[in-house]
């Protein structure tokens, strides 16, 4: 018999997979005691998560809640000075922090739920 508690030890439940729109993004608050949240992007059954802090000067990326992607929903965009990042690895491909990258957060998908390390975010 499988012990679900062991599989999620050290992890924090972010949300159910279906709570992130397919092809879209969603922001999440900071962990308890922290002040920098996370955001996650869903591509079908895959989820990419990052700390919501731009490598340029550390601002949160979204201009309004959950708006992390460009109009075509192809790239992550920082609303402050327009840096653009690849969804798959968070690398900045244009803008003031080109060549730098968002801080990736490892994602665990388990029975339709999305988990991240307990201390992810800051």
- State the minimum distance, in angstroms, from the CB of residue 40 to ligand FES: 18
- Residue given tokens 């992890």 in the structure block: 11
Which residues fall within 8 angstroms of residue 119, CB to CB, at 6 or more apart?
A: 31, 34
- State the minimum distance, in angstroms, from the CB of residue 56 to ligand FES: 3
Q: Is 110 in the site for ligand FES (CB under 6 A)?
A: no
Residue among 31, 37, 95, 121 that touches ligand FES (CB under 6 A)? 95
Decide whether 78 or 114 has the Cβ nearer to ligand FES.
78
Do the beta carbons of residue 70 and residue 83 sit within 8 Å? no
Give the C-alpha separation, 40 to 14, whole Å: 9
Residue among 59, 93, 109, 110 that touches ligand FES (CB under 6 A)? 59
């Amino acid at each position: 018999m499988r012990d679900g508690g062991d599989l999620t030890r050290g992890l924090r439940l972010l949300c159910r997979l279906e709570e992130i729109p397919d092809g879209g993004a969603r922001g999440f608050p900071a962990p308890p005691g922290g002040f920098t949240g996370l955001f996650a992007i869903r591509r079908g059954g895959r989820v990419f998560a990052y700390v919501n802090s731009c490598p340029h000067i550390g601002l949160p990326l979204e201009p309004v809640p959950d708006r992390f992607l460009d109009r075509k929903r192809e790239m992550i965009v920082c609303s402050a000075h327009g840096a653009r990042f690849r969804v798959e690895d968070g690398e900045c491909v244009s803008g003031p922090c080109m060549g730098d990258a968002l801080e990736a957060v490892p994602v665990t998908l388990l029975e339709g739920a999305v988990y991240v390390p307990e201390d992810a975010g800051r």
